[in-house]
Every structure is written in structure tokens, then in C-alpha cells.
A and B are shown apart, each in its own frame.
Chain A
Amino acid sequence: MTNSTFDIKSYRGFKAITLLCLIVLYAPLVVVTIYSFNSSQSLTNWEGLSLRWYADVFTGPESDKFKQAAKNSFIIAIVAATVSTTIATLAATGMVRGGKFKLRTVSFGLISLPLMVPEIVTAVATLIFFNSIGFDRGIMTILLAHIAFCIPFAYLPISARMQGIEDSYEQAAQDLYATKRQAFTKILLPLMMPGIISGFLLAFIVSLDDFIITNFVKGAGVETLPTAIFGSVKQGIKPNIMAISTMLLGVSIIMVTISYFVSKTDNTK
């Protein structure tokens, strides 16, 4: 039986295409990782293994710029992800546990709007908006823009998770004279945690990675990691950028692994 299903399911060539797909996805990153350990200043010649470009990232002439940019990026990402996850959690509760109501479709449209509008359009609109109300560009404008477009990214995993939780737990708690607020904080919220964490991580990464919108709304001297990297790589990729890229890849792998184990502990429950 298992044999025959396997046979029906498998198609010749699909495995090869999958492997090709992985090669295409990883080849540039692998090349960059390898070259980040090159001791040569030149990109084309290999002159032996070295960590000098990693040292350069932390102590070289551009290190201050990148440190400040990394700090800005992480602060913005943490605050934007926290605020948007909070808003998204409340909104998801209202949407999924709020019964049927007239504005439901409109609300959903509004929440997913940042996903539907092409990023360049959001960037232009936000720039025009801040400009027309005379709001000076700076770290605050970046933060506000990030909060807005992170909401749908936080919302989707949270609402998906909530739809998977039966409300009988909360009903039972209320039968035992828990208030709605208690049912929410003591029952629903803990059950929602895996969804909230993946929503937060998604929002965090999206904020950390954003270039187009940030580039339009950032103010004088306020760089985030992507805009600082852009300023550098536009003149051609340099070994220190490759080192930063490799470290970012490392951070991403760690975060993805964390979310993997979070979801795994959840599955075994």
C-alpha cells in the first residue's frame, strides 16, 4: 500500500528540480560566505583563509556607521514588532472571536492592505503623507511606517493559530466564573503563544529587512542596516559587506531554528 502511494505521488525529475532550486537559492550565499573569509582585498583573487573582514566590521573605518545602523535597526525592529504584534493580537481576537459583523470584510481588507499595496507605492504614499503634514523625517517616521506594514505579517500567523483553538476552553473557564478578561489572559493568550511568537518573529524580520520604505522615509543621518549596506554595496560588493552578510545569515538561521523548535514543542502537546 505505502509503496503504491509513493509511486503515485512521485514524479520523475521533481527531485532534480528541487535540488536545482536549492542550488540556485544557496549558490550566491555560499559564494559570499566563502569570500568573506578571503584574506585578499581584491574580490577576484583568493589569498588564503582569514578573519580580517570580520575584525574590520567591528573595528574598521566603517564600523561606527554599521554599529549605529545595527543598533537603530534592532531598536526599530523590536519596537515595531512589539507594537504591531500587540495590535494584531487584539485585532485577531476581535476578528476570530468577535462573531459576525458588518465591518468584518472591511476590517480584514484594511489589515491586509499593506500586503496588497506594492512596497514602492507605500513608500511614496508615506513620504507624501509625512511631507504634507510637516512631520520631520527621522527615526520616528521609520518606526511609524514599520509598525503599519508589520501588522498584517503579525496578524496572519496569530489569526491562523486562533482559528485552530476551540473556544470551549474559554467557555469552560467562564462557566467557572472567570471574567472575560481572565479567560482572555489566562486561557486564550497562553494557548496563542506559539502564534504570537511566530507573528512577532515574522514582523521583526520584515522590519529588520525593509529597505524600500525606510529609504524613502528616513531622516538625516538615520541609517538602518539595510540602508547602510545599500550605501556601501552600491559601489560594488566589498569583503566587509560579505562578512556582515554571513553574520546576518547566521542570525537568520538561529531565529528560524528557534521558531522551528517553538512550533515543534507545540505539535507534541
Chain B
Amino acid sequence: MKSFMKTSVAAFALTVGANAAAAEGELVLYHWFEYMPQEVLDKFTEETGIEVTMDTFDSNESMLASLKAGGIGTYDLSVPGDYMVSIMANEGMLDTIEDGELKNKGNIEPEWADPSFDPGRKHSIPYQWGSTSFAVNRDVYSGDIQTTDILFNPPEELQGRINMLDAQGEIMVMASLHLGIPQCSSDREQLKALNALLQDAKQHWTSFNSDTAKEVLVSGDAAVGQIYDGFSAKAREEGANVEYAFPTQGYVAWMDNVVLLKDAPNRENALKFMDFLLEPENIAAVTNFAQYNAGVKGVSDFLDPNLASQPEKNPHDNVGPGVFIEVCSEEVQAVYDQIWTNLKK
């Protein structure tokens, strides 16, 4: 026993030591699941000798919660969505990228160079942008799907066969679009209507799951799934007969961004990685994998030609507006949290 103990203590000391030694060429990335192809990370390591460690999350909110619960100071980079960038900036969780620190900053497409959620791109660079709506299995339902009624007031064939994203933001926006009310409205009647709508719609929903949003459509466990456009395209490629809807009421538009976190332990390496992702060839590899869109000039030469013609990227003429998720005030957010708890009780 004694010698065994000695060995194990030695082994532990060795590993901890080894980790410390490796820390010089490290980068710790906090990222969405299934969003970063391994080849891109390998290529970065090959070019720079920096080892990338990646942790994954499944919603903007859980990422924020985890960072607040002690994650700041341990990760270098994260990939929040548009509205989450402004929340994190307000919380003081982001580091500022000084002028000239990113040599490829000029590669950002002009329309994404000065977004409202991060004026002047002080903390972030574009990662991917796309839309969130829902996909319907056409073997199960052949009627009109270009309406949010599919989610909130579904036809009989689809009742009880709907998977929603387990994400408050996406569900609240879709519900607001369905009701035709503004996001983050503080109007009491409108908030009550929002609450009532979700209470009523819940009976038709079989599950809340973001991680398996694609899988449930492929396996046929769900006939409708609230889903991101690229995920829907992948589900289609994996054999599900699904069509991605562009509701006339509107849909969610988003942009995910790579942000530099405050107290990043490997700040220099983080900036190198950001520069790396601003090279058209590299970010195009991400786009080819995730099947969304990049926000960098000159990517088109490297993109899979089939991407542009995907039905998920080509809305019909009567499509409603694509809206970004807004950041609500603390008071409205408290009501939203209450509605969310009511929904899940």
C-alpha cells in the first residue's frame, strides 16, 4: 500500500508538473459544441506550435453562467452570440483589443465591422452568422410551413412531436414574432399574452433540447424542430426529409463572435488565434463544416460551391424580417425568467 501511495503521488506530481510546463504554448477556447472542425485547430497548432484546449457549452446563457461562476481568468477566448457580446461587455468580462493588435482586422467585411453589439469591434471578431427558425419533416406534414403557427399552434399531425431549443432567448423572440409584439416589451398586457401563449403551446412540445436538435430530426423522434439553418442543412444531408422554414412573421438572425476574455491567461496566443480565424481560407473551412456564413472578405474562393444554393440560405419572397435578439432591461428580464420558470414547472 505504501509503495502504491508513493507511486500515485509521484504520478500526480508528474502530471501537474507536465501541465505547467506545457502552459507556455497553450490556448484555452470556450466554444459551442460541434462548431469547430478539428482540422482547423490542428492547422493552427501546426503553424504556431500552440496547443488548443477546447471546452464546449450549449447556450449563451450557460456559457455566461459558467464564466461568472469562476471561469474568468481560466479561458482565453469564447464565442458568444451578438446580444451576449453586449451583455458580457457590460459585465466587464471582455478585454479590449487595442488598435494594431490584430493585423487581419481589415479583413472583416464592412457590414460586420461596426456592429451595434460591439461598436468598432473592440472586443470581438466575426465567427459565423446565420438564422434560427425551425425545420419540418415533410413526410409527416405537407401543408404550409412558412408560419410560426407550426410552433405555437401546430396542425394535428405535428402536435406532441415538436422539439424546442432549450434557450430562453430564441423561444422568447419567436413567441414575440408570433404575437407581433416588440422584444423586451415592458407592456404588461403583452407580457401576460406572452406568458399565456407559451403556457398554451407547451402541450404540443415533446422536449426542450439544443444539443440533440439535429439528432431528433434525423432519428424521427421529432417531426418539427426549432433549429439553426446550418444544423437543418446537416440534418437534411444525413437523410431526414426536412424543410427549413422562413416564417412570414419573421425569424431569428444571429452572429456568433470570437471574444477576448478579461484576464485571459494566454492573451498573446488568443490574438494569434483571432488573426488566424480572420484569414479567409481558415474561416472558410469553419463555414464549410458548420454550413453557416463567414463575415470575412475573400472567403468565397474557398467555400464549397454547394453552400450558396442551399435552401436553408435562400429565403422565399414573402419571408418576414430576420431579427437579432435584444438585451432586455433587468426588470423585463426578471419577468422573462418568471415566464420561463412557469413554462418549465
Please report A residues at the B interface, Cβ cutoff 8 Å.
43-44, 61, 71, 75, 78-79, 82, 86, 127, 130-131, 136-139, 196, 219-221, 223, 231, 234-236
- In angstroms, how far is the closest chain A Cβ from the Cβ of B93? 14
Chain B residues, CB < 8 A from A235 = 33-34, 211-212, 214-215
Closest to B221 in A: A236
- In angstroms, how far is the closest chain A Cβ from the Cβ of B215? 4
Contacts A221-B53, A234-B58, A235-B33 given; does A79 touch B71 at CB 8 Å: no
Asked if residues A236 and B215 are in contact (CB atoms below 8 Å), the reply is: yes
Contact of A220 (CB < 8 Å), options: B9, B16, B30: B30
Residues of B20-70 contacting chain A, CB below 8 A: 28, 30, 33-34, 38, 53-56, 58, 69-70
Asked if residues B74 and A138 are in contact (CB atoms below 8 Å), the reply is: yes
Chain B residues, CB < 8 A from A44 = 219
Asked if residues A137 and B74 are in contact (CB atoms below 8 Å), the reply is: yes
- B15 interface residue (CB < 8 Å to A): yes
Chain A residues, CB < 8 A from B11 = 75, 78
Chain B residues, CB < 8 A from A234 = 33, 58, 211-212
Number of interface residues, chain B, beta carbon within 8 A: 32
Asked if residues B4 and A82 are in contact (CB atoms below 8 Å), the reply is: yes
Asked if residues B56 and A137 are in contact (CB atoms below 8 Å), the reply is: no
Chain A residues, CB < 8 A from B9 = 79, 82
Complex Cα–Cα for A61 and B36 (A) = 12
Chain B residues, CB < 8 A from A196 = 1
Chain B residues, CB < 8 A from A138 = 74
Contacts A127-B69, A219-B74, A221-B54 given; does A236 touch B8 at CB 8 Å: no
Asked if residues A131 and B70 are in contact (CB atoms below 8 Å), the reply is: yes
Closest to A237 in B: B215
Asked if residues A71 and B211 are in contact (CB atoms below 8 Å), the reply is: no
Known: A82-B8, A137-B70, A219-B70. 15 other contacts (CB 8 A): A43-B219, A71-B15, A75-B11, A78-B8, A78-B11, A79-B9, A82-B4, A127-B69, A139-B16, A139-B19, A219-B74, A221-B53, A221-B54, A235-B211, A236-B219
Chain A residues, CB < 8 A from B58 = 234
Complex Cα–Cα for A188 and B211 (A) = 53
Q: List 8 A-B contacts (CB under 8 A).
A: A75-B15, A78-B8, A79-B9, A138-B74, A220-B30, A220-B74, A234-B58, A236-B212
Asked if residues A131 and B8 are in contact (CB atoms below 8 Å), the reply is: no
Complex Cα–Cα for A43 and B238 (A) = 12
Complex Cα–Cα for A196 and B1 (A) = 10
- B276 interface residue (CB < 8 Å to A): no
Closest to B216 in A: A236
